[in-house]
Amino acid sequence: MIATYAEHGYEKMSVHLFQQLQKEMIKLDPVALTVVLGACATISALAWGRIIHYSIIASALEADLMVGNALLDMYAKCGNLEDGLLVFEQMPFHDVVSWTAMISAYNQAGYAHKALQLLAEMQDDMVMPNAVTFVNILATCSHEGMVEEGVFYFCFLLHKFAITPTLQHYGCLVDLFVRAGRLEEGEILINNTEAYDSVVAWQALLGACKIHFDVDCGIRSAERIIDFNPELSAPYLALSDFYGEKEFCVC
């Protein structure tokens, strides 16, 4: 039932059921604990996550890799780097999920260089990064405006690890360019990759066009978003502003 609630978006019910089972002195296995920790991560329920952590310690399950990874993910998504780091350091073994969770935690806490450093450390530990790891690495570069580093790591995932880029990777790369004001490169990337079919990528470009007053690119972006979803009001408002700006410039 815990998993059923969590899978259908009823994370709070999942956690409440866990609490009820605790009151009845029913011990949960690592799979159930992982599910309820995932529910806490989704709704950023740090207080509940800590209570579950105490239960895990009391049950001597903190050495379980799956449980440890779920704890790491919960603390990372709740923005608690300190407790996440303690869990990581106490784990007897780390896999790619563990390292990726810590990279995400450092990224969310604003420690970009430490997040990138962990990519090297995990390889020293003979753990190879996967596609999810590089989504977090590219997101780190994007948030910090590290354009050249982001391009380097994108090439790294392609050529060293032969990872096929997903829409998430391209989305991060688009975000990387447009955040840095490099709108032309961002638009070229969208037009020539899977990001072309992503409304999120076009919305990111449109937002950057508003900031940098790129009227022509903004019009193209807004029109593409309308193609995706004609019911959205934001692109119509943007188009009105851009065309108004165009007329003003002509006058």
Q: Which pLDDT does position 83 carry in this prediction? A: 95
Give a yes or no: residue 51 inside a domain: yes
Question: Where among 46, 75, 93 does a domain terminate?
Answer: 93
Report yes or no: 68 and 98 within 8 Å, Cβ to Cβ. yes
Residue 162 Cα distances to 11, 130, 210, angstroms = 36, 10, 36
> What is the C-alpha to C-alpha distance for residues 218 and 203, in angstroms, rounded to an integer?
10
Q: What is the pTM of this model?
A: 0.85
Instruction: State the pLDDT at residue 5.
Output: 45
Residue 33 pLDDT? 85
Residue 89 counted as domain residue: yes
What range defines the domain where residue 216 resides? 165-251
Q: Which residues are within 8 A (CB) of 217 and not within 5 positions of it... i.e. 6 or more apart?
A: 183, 184, 187, 205, 209
Nearest Cα to Cα of residue 71 among 92, 50, 95: 50
Residue 214, amino acid: D
pLDDT-flagged residues of the chain (< 70): 1-17, 19-26, 247-251
- Summarised one tens digit per residue, pLDDT across range 44-72 is 889 889 988 998 898 889 889 999 999 99
Q: How confident is the model at residue 107, as a pLDDT?
A: 94
**Residue type at 35 in one-letter notation:** V
Instruction: Report in angstroms the alpha-carbon separations of 235 from 148, 194, 224, 242.
Output: 30, 21, 9, 10
Q: Please indicate, yes or no, if residue 35 is contained in any of the structural domains.
A: yes
Q: What angle do CA 126, 129, 134 make, to 5 degrees?
A: 155
Q: Domain total for the chain?
A: 2
What residues contact 11, with CB distance under 8 A and at least 6 apart? 5, 39, 40, 42, 43, 45
Would you state the pLDDT for residue 29? 80
